[in-house]
Amino acid sequence: MRILFLSHYFPPEVNAPAVRTFEHCREWVRRGHEVHVVTCVPNHPQGKVYDGYRSSLATQHENMNGIHVHRVWTYVAANEGIVKRTLGYLSYMLSAPLAATKVPRPDIVVATSPQFFCACAGFLSSKLVRRPWVFELRDIWPESLVAVGAIRSKAVVRLLGALELRLYNDAAAVVAVTGAFREYLVGRGVDAAKITVIPNGIDFEAWDGTDAKQARAHFHPDSKFVVSYVGTHGMAHNLETLLEAAKMLRDDADIQFVTVGDGAELKKLQRIRDEWHLANVTLVGQVSHETAKAYLLASDVSVVLLRKTPLFKTVLPSKIFEAMAAQSPIILGVDGEARRIVEEAGAGICVEPENARQLAAAILRLKSDAALRRRLGENGLRAARDKFDRKVMAVRMLEVMGAARGRGGKTVGTSPAEES
C-alpha cells in the first residue's frame, strides 16, 4: 500500500505528533509499505529553521529510515501568538495539497491533528488525488483553543465547528486517540462505525540500551530528589502550578524541580521562576528526543499536568507512556481518561488539576517512600508493555487504512479490542 501522510510536525522536531507519526511510518515501511510524508521545514517550537534545512518555496525531499519526506514551504513562526501561528497553519494547508499532487499517487491519504488545518489539507489532498482519506484525531479543535482562551469569538468557533464536522463526515475513517474522543464525535452525529480508537503508546525499541544510572550520574550527580516535567510548555499545561508547588517546597534542599522542553509559556515561566527566586527550579529548554528520554530516566518522579477544564478530561497525554517506559512514578494532574489509565495501571498518584498543594503533598509522599516509587514504576512499565506498544498501534492503523482503501471511502468498523 502506498500511504500519503500529512503532518505539520515531523522529526527532527521532538513534540508528540512528530514522534508518533515517525514511529508509525517507520513501522509501516518495515512491513513493506511505501510511505510519503508531507510536512514542514522543521522549526517548532521557536520558529527558527533547524540547521541543515532552509525555508524555500521549492519542496525539499529526504529519505528518513525508508520514509519519503517532502518538506513544503510554510510561513515560519514561533509557537506563540495566535495570528502568526495561524498564518503558519494556513500556509501549510495550501502548500501540502499541492505537494500531494506531485508525489506518486497514493492508495490512501492520512492527515493528523494537531493542528486543525492539517486535517483540512488532508481533505483537499484526497480530492486532488481522488483517493479516500483517514482523519487521525489527536486534538479536538476548536474546543481546545476555547479551553485555553486562545479563541473567544463565538462566530469563529461556530464556523470552525461546522468545518470540523464536515471533515469528520467526509473522512473514510476517523482514528481517535481516546475513547472519550470517540464519544464526543458520536455526540456530534458522526457515524460510530467509522471511528476507531488507537491510543498513544510507546516505542520500546527506542528505549533499548538507555542506561538510567548513567543518565542520573550525568544530569543529577548531587543525588537530590528530582521532580521532572518533560514536554511542551504550552497554554494547555498551566505549568505555573508546578512552580507554585516548588515555592511551597523551597525550604527542602533535597528536592529539585526540572522542566525539559519549550513552548509558548516558557518565557513566562522563566520570569516567574526568577521573580519568586526559585533556586530549586531548573528550566532546561528544548533538547533532542534522546536527551529528553535520558532526563526522564534520571528522574525520581514525572509530573504530567493540564488545565482544569472539562475538555481535557478527554485527552490522553503521550507523556504518560514515556514516563511508564522510564519506570518513573507519575504524579498526574489530569482528570478523565488519563486518570483512569494511570489508576488502573497503578502507575502513579493522581491529584486535582491546578492544585499546587496536592501536587506538593504527592511529591513529599513519594520522596519519603522508595518502595512505593519502585512499585509504581514497575506497574507502569508492565501496563505500557501489555497495552500500549507502539508497534501494535501501528498495525491497527494499517488495518484501518486498508479497510478505508478497500471500501473506497465507505465506513469501517471498530473492533472491541480497539476500545481500550
Q: Domain limits of the chain?
A: 2-201+389-419, 204-387
pTM: 0.84
Taking a C-beta distance cutoff of 8 angstroms, is the pair 270, 196 a contact? Answer: no
Does the 204-387 domain belong in CATH 3.30.559.10? no
Query: Cα–Cα distance between 274 and 281 in angstroms, integer?
Result: 10
Same fold for the domain at 2-201+389-419 and the one at 204-387?
yes
CATH topology classification for 2-201+389-419: Rossmann fold (3.40.50)
- Spell out the per-residue pLDDT of the chain, length 420, in tens: 999 999 999 999 988 889 999 999 999 999 999 999 999 999 988 888 999 999 899 999 999 999 999 999 999 877 666 778 778 889 999 999 999 999 999 999 999 987 788 999 999 999 999 999 999 998 777 565 555 555 566 776 677 778 888 899 999 999 999 898 899 899 989 999 999 999 988 998 877 656 778 888 888 877 899 999 999 898 889 999 999 999 999 999 999 999 999 888 999 999 999 999 999 999 999 898 889 889 999 999 999 999 998 888 888 898 999 999 999 999 999 999 999 999 999 999 999 999 999 999 999 999 999 999 999 999 999 999 999 999 999 999 999 999 999 765 443 333 333 332
Spatial CB neighbours of 396, under 8 Å, sequence gap ≥ 6 = 196, 198, 418
How far is the C-alpha of 396 from the C-alpha of 120, rounded, in Å? 24
> DSSP readout, 22-73?
HHHHHHHHHTT-EEEEEEEPS-TTTT-PPTT----SSPEEEEETTEEEEEEP
* Angle of CA points 120, 123, 124, to nearest 5°: 90
